Amino acid sequence: MVFRNRKKDKRSKGVVILKHTMRGCNPMPLPERKNRYTYADYLTWSENERWEIIDGVPILQAAPTWQHQAIVRELLTQFNIYLKNEPCEVFASPFDLRLPERNQKDEETTFVVQPDIIVVCDKQGLKGTGYYGTPTMLIEISSPSTARSDKVWKFRRYEAAGVKEYWIVEPDGKFISVFTLAPDGLYGRPGIYTDTDTVRVSVLPGLAVDLEPVFAGI
């Protein structure tokens, strides 16, 4: 189901709709923005709609597929078991991540996204509907229609913000690209792992994620 923007909504100009389909058309490019929307604006929008804001541009999200949800469920299970007695915490969407530019205050943030999975070790950023600041690790479950967002727009911002580890999960191909932040502040060449592999999480020493159950039945 795709949530549709309401009539007489100011956001109707410049809105991008991304569908969480396993196979589908390419995402629409971000339009030239005329207004930069913020987290303060976001909080006034309908709770029945799923939005992200990329550099001030609202993006309307559709409900995820069952395959997407199955992958998130299994990853959360493995992370939760490991983190049970650890200081870090793991969360799943809906969870508002606000990554500020320069000295933007929380309500001024123009980059508000819903990562599929977020790992937080510095809990000072936990606030309101999610997290304000840079989390430790992020995971996005990608699809043909969200690929550009996951691999370009979000990738660049996560890298610039200093997210130490970023996974892009590809359900169709049953593999994961793992990016880790290098000393120069950039993501290097990703590690590629398939459904027969186990991934050791660099930011959580001791956690090894078994990918066989992650992709089972997909």
- Is residue 81 located within the same domain as residue 132? yes
Domain of residue 101: give its range: 66-215
Q: Which residue has the higher pLDDT, 128 or 7?
A: 128
Do 94 and 56 belong together in one domain? Answer: no
In a domain, 150, yes or no: yes
Q: Is residue 70 part of a domain?
A: yes
Give yes or no: residues 39 and 75 share one domain: no
Sequence-ordered list of residues with C-beta below 8 angstroms from that of 136, at least 6 positions apart, any chain: 88, 119, 120, 121, 122, 163, 164, 165, 203
> Which pLDDT score is estimated for 62?
82
Assess whether 161 and 71 both reside in one domain. yes
Measured distance CA(37)–CA(95) in Å, rounded: 18
Q: Where residue 35 falls among pLDDT bands split at 50, 70, 90? A: confident
What CATH number should be reported for the domain holding residue 180? 3.90.1570.10
pLDDT at 202 over 70: yes
Q: Confirm whether 5 is domain-assigned.
A: no
**Mean pLDDT to the nearest integer, 13-32:** 42
Name the domain boundary from 61, 76, 98. 61
Hey, which residues does 139 pair with through a beta bridge? 117, 167
Please compute the mean of the pLDDT values over residues 143-157 and round it to a whole number: 92
Same domain assignment for residues 54 and 75: no
pLDDT band at 34 (very low <50, low <70, confident <90, very high): low
Reported confidence tier of residue 49, pLDDT bands at 50, 70, 90: confident
Q: Which of 61, 76, 100 is the last residue of a domain?
A: 61
55 with 73, same domain?
no
Beta carbons of 149 and 18 less than 8 angstroms apart: yes
Contacts of 112 (CB under 8 A, 6+ apart): 39, 42, 51, 52, 53, 96, 97, 98
Q: How many domains does the chain have?
A: 2
The helix (H) or strand (E) run that includes residue 72 is helix 66-83
Q: Are residues 141 and 160 in the same domain?
A: yes
* Average of per-residue pLDDT across 30-42: 75
Q: What is the pTM of this model?
A: 0.84
Mean per-residue pLDDT for 50-74? Answer: 93
How crowded is the C-beta side of 79, counted as CA atoms within 13 Å? 23
Residues 56, 154: one domain?
no
- Are 148 and 107 in the same domain? yes
Both 209 and 146 in one domain: the answer is yes
Shared-domain flag, residues 75 and 110: yes
Average pLDDT across the chain, whole number? 87
Question: Does the pLDDT at position 20 exceed 70?
Answer: no
- Asked if 87 and 135 sit in the same domain, the reply is yes
